[in-house]
Structure 1
Amino acid sequence: MSPTKDRYHHGDLREELLRASLRLIDTEGLAAVSLRRVAREAGVSPGAPYHHFTDRAALLAALSTRGFELLGAALVSIRDTTTSAREALIEMAEGYVGFAREHPTYFRLMFRPELSQPHNHPDTEDAGDAAFAILEDTLADATRAGELPAEDAETLALAWWSLAHGLASLTLDGKLEARSAHMGTTAAALADRVTRMFADLIDSRWPQR
Structure 2
Amino acid sequence: MGRRNDHSPVEFDKMVVDTVWQWLQNQSASDLSLRKIASLIGYAPSTLVSVYGSYALLLLRVNSATLDRLAQNLAVTDPKAPARDRLLDAALGYLNFAREHPHAFRLIFEHKLAEGQSLPPHFCDKLEAMFGLVEAPLSELRPELSASALHLHARMLWASVHGICQLDIDNKLFLQGAEGQALICALLGHVLDKESQ
TM-score for both structures, normalised by structure 2: 0.79
* Counterpart secondary structure, 2:81: coil
Q: 1:164 aligns with which of 161, 182, 187?
A: 161
SS at match of 1:52: helix
- Deviation, 1:8, is 1.2
TM alignment of 1:45-60, pairs within 5 A: 45-50=44-49, 52-60=51-59
Letter in 2 for 1:138: P
CA distance in 2, matches of 1:165, 1:28: 19
* Identity level (%): 22
Q: Could you say which structure has the higher helix fraction?
A: 1
Structure 2 unaligned regions, length at least 5: none
* Distance (Å, rounded) in 2 between the aligned partners of 1:203 and 1:126: 27
Q: Indicate which of 80, 100, 118 corresponds to 2:98.
A: 100
Determine whether 1:90 maps to 2:85: no
Q: State which drifts further: 115-124 or 38-47.
A: 115-124
Q: 1:129, CA displacement in angstroms? A: 2.2
Residue 194 of structure 1 corresponds to: 183
**1:205 equivalent in alignment to 2:194:** yes
Shift of 1:24: 4.5
The Cα of 1:102 is off from its aligned counterpart by 1.1
Alpha-carbon distance, 1:196 to partner: 2.6
Residue identity matched to 2:188:
A
- Which residues of structure 1 form unaligned runs of 5+? none
State the one-letter code of the partner of 1:133: G
What displacement does 1:56 show? 0.4
CA RMSD of aligned residues (A): 3.1
Q: Deviations over 1:9-41 (max 9, x none)?
A: 48311111122223445436425311x331211
